[in-house]
Structure 1
Amino acid sequence: MDPQITLFIQYIMVERGLSSNTVHAYQTDLVAFSKFLEERHIQEFSEVDRTLLVLYLQNLRIQKRAAATIARNVASLRALFEFLARERYLTSNPAYDLESPKTAKRLPHSLTLEEVEHLLAAPDTHQPLGLRDKAMLELLYATGLRVSELITLRVFDVNLSASFIQCFGKGAKERIIPLGSLARHAIDTYILTARTHMLRDPQESALFVNHLGDPLTRQGFWKIIKKYANIAGIQSELTPHTLRHSFATHLLEHGADLRAVQEMLGHADISTTQIYTHVTRSRLQDVYHNSHPRA
């Protein structure tokens, strides 16, 4: 079975171009499922039927796995068996129409405008690392990039004269995002006065590098944003994704078109973007109840 899992993982990496995090999640789920089958002395995926799949999902529920985790396992199994059936390793697909548990939609947390201002003002721009951090934070808030997209940006992906950036999101889909003047100025200052001094290799193409001159990592950025949350005195939850949520929420609050926000965020389905309209409605209700004398 493991060779077929390996083939599937290669397929979603190369042909579907899924992100490394998604690939890792699929692989983790499928290795666990393979062990479940081995414990029952099942040697081939062709021996798996729908009853066995349902039993595996019930087993996850008995282990008190979260609904989101079970839903992800369902997606992994569906994708694997669809691949195996299409490639003729199986004559039928037992995971077809396998039901996924309903998961509660969590409203994304975003910062207030005041909190964003405090956060963007936190880096010490008299230092090279501060200039880099200022540029990263301004860019995230200006464009709604995912952190994975931010750390893979290359210098030539940024067109400062035309005020836009080019990035490749999930599924290696390219999108063009406008760049505001404040973010453009912060990036320009970082490139001209800080980045060149931080590089070890002049040929390095990564836009954002660490103090050793190597491309910044996701873990590195996590530490950076936590540091500035403390400096800015932000008590609410702040993750690398929070600025993306704030970007979308603040655009919609100020009258942006939902389709335009979907395009900038790189959402394949507008229903994913629509969750932000619930956030803006919640904020309007808060403002009303706190401000109206008869609320």
Structure 2
Amino acid sequence: MAYLKKRGKIYYAKWHKSENGKSFSVQKSLKTRHKDVAEKMIRELNKLESLGKIDPLARSFDPIRELKKLEKPHHVSCKTVREAADRFLATKEHKSKATKEAYQWAIDHFIDHNNLVKADPLDITARHFEEIIFKPGIKTNTRHYYFRHFRAWWNWMLRKKFVDENLFEQIRPDMPEKRENTRPKMISVEELQKLFKAYDKHYEKVSKRDDFCFMKAQHWFKPLMMVYFYAGLRRNEAAYDPNLEYSGLKGENLIYENGELSYIYLPPTKGRKERQIPIIQELKESLEEYLKLRGKVKRKEYVFVYLGGAHAGRPVTGERAYKLFKDFLDDADLPSSRTIHGMRHQAVTTWIEKGFHTAEAGYMAGHSSQRVTEKYTHLTAKRLKEKMDSL
């Protein structure tokens, strides 16, 4: 049975127990200065103890958490951690296969490791997450992988009011600093030209074959790569992915002003922000040359499609674009670390180096926050020296 005790200005609940001639007590803060509120809390705690629903002497016992369970009748709609996980994972069905599998694996590992399958979501503590995030022997990137996926799940449960405390505010200060290093992924203008020379060499070779068909050639490759490089689109924003609702650039995304191709418009995609990217001259010329060959694109038609062969008319997939990119990367003897997403990094970096504010670069990139944009900025030493010389 609990009774009230005051320490300073805060009220506490105190329990006494005698066992084998020895007596000991446990004291837990009620986090209130108001006596009437504290007395009501004591009555509720005593009722729960008499019904056997709480064990005040348990090390993990938290009176505030137990009382909050009584305040949230809607929580009955999600009785177990397993149910909360399954419902969260269902919201990720529109994501790519790799993203869905990453969430599935991380959350399943969390539940199994902590034996929380049948536990109430309100019983989850920061310690449960720390057991995995700060496990000895794992790399910093892995710790951040766990933190990122667990936090997304927890924030979803907070919005659904299945839980009521932001545990990740407690965990974040202990996270090791993650060193952002996207330089190896980025591709320069010179490297892009080498990539295109490798494509031209391949095209010249296959065009001499007796069975060569002009319309079967991958005419979409160069303009698609330039969209990545100059417009900073994500892989499946420009190319198609059947698992994503927003994938694939369409005719309605190409904006003309006075009859000239001027902008690429994208509604909210991964970053949940719409954006409009001005098309620079190099990209404009490449797209216009491709569109002359492809023909007029209707509003709901995909821009990058196969022009001939068995797949004629079908959209080019991000997977196919990536494979061809890697093939020509190898032919051009360029570092294998270069990626399509690295071209997006390069685009955002170039915008900022050319004088765009991070807010403007973030808008064109479709970042969810300016903090994300700042991670994408990798200002070169040459640019910094130019600024210093101008002082």
Q: In 2, are the aligned partners of 1:261 and 1:273 still within 8 Å (CA)?
A: yes
Go from structure 1 to structure 2 and tell me whether the alpha carbon gap of 1:57 and 1:118 turns closer, same or farther (over 3 Å shift).
Answer: closer
The structure with the largest strand share of the pair is 2
Alignment of 1:205 onto 2:280: no
Question: TM-score, with normalisation over the residues of structure 2?
Answer: 0.59
TM-score after normalising by structure 1:
0.76
Distance change (3 Å), C-alpha of 1:284 and 1:97: same
Q: Greater Rg, structure 1 or structure 2? A: 2
Post-superposition shift, 1:147? 0.8
Aligned-pair Cα RMSD in Å: 3.4
- Of 204, 224, 238 in structure 2, the residue corresponding to residue 136 of structure 1 is 224
Partner of 1:292: none
| 1:36 counterpart = 2:124 | no
Residues in 1 aligned to 2:377 and 2:117: alpha-carbon distance in whole angstroms:
50
Instruction: Check the 8 A contact 2:272/2:368 in 1, yes or no.
Output: no
Q: Residue in 2 aligned with 1:216? A: 316
SS for the counterpart of 2:266 is strand
> What are the residue-to-residue correspondences of 1:35-114 with 2, within 5 Å?
35-38=112-115, 43-58=119-134, 61-62=135-136, 64-90=137-163, 92-99=165-172, 100-109=175-184, 110-114=186-190
2:53 maps to none
> Residue 254 of structure 2 contacts residue 261 of structure 2 at CA under 8 Å; is this kept in 1?
no
Does structure 1 residue 190 correspond to structure 2 residue 278?
Answer: no
Identical amino acids, percent of aligned pairs: 21
Q: Deviations over 1:53-107 (max 9, x none)?
A: 222323xx33x33322222322332332333344343454544532233211214
Deviations 1:94-130 (A, max 9, x none): 4453223321121434333322222244434774433
* Aligned position for 1:4: 84
List runs of 5+ in structure 2 lacking aligned partners: 1-80, 208-213, 240-247, 387-391
Q: Which protein has greater RCO, CA pairs closer than 8 Å, 6+ apart?
A: 1
- Report the structure, 1 or 2, having the larger helix content: 1
Structure 1 residue ranges without an equivalent (≥5) = 197-201, 288-295
For residues 182 and 281 of structure 2, what CA distance do their matches in structure 1 show? 30
Deviation at 1:30, TM superposition (A): 0.9
After superposition, where does 1:100-249 map in structure 2 within 5 Å?
100-109=175-184, 110-124=186-200, 127-128=214-215, 129-151=217-239, 152-160=248-256, 161-168=260-267, 169-194=269-294, 205-210=301-306, 212-213=311-312, 214-235=314-335, 237-249=337-349
**Alignment partner of 1:27 is 2:27:** no
Q: CA deviation at 1:50?
A: 2.3
Q: Which moved more, 1:87-96 or 1:112-121?
A: 87-96
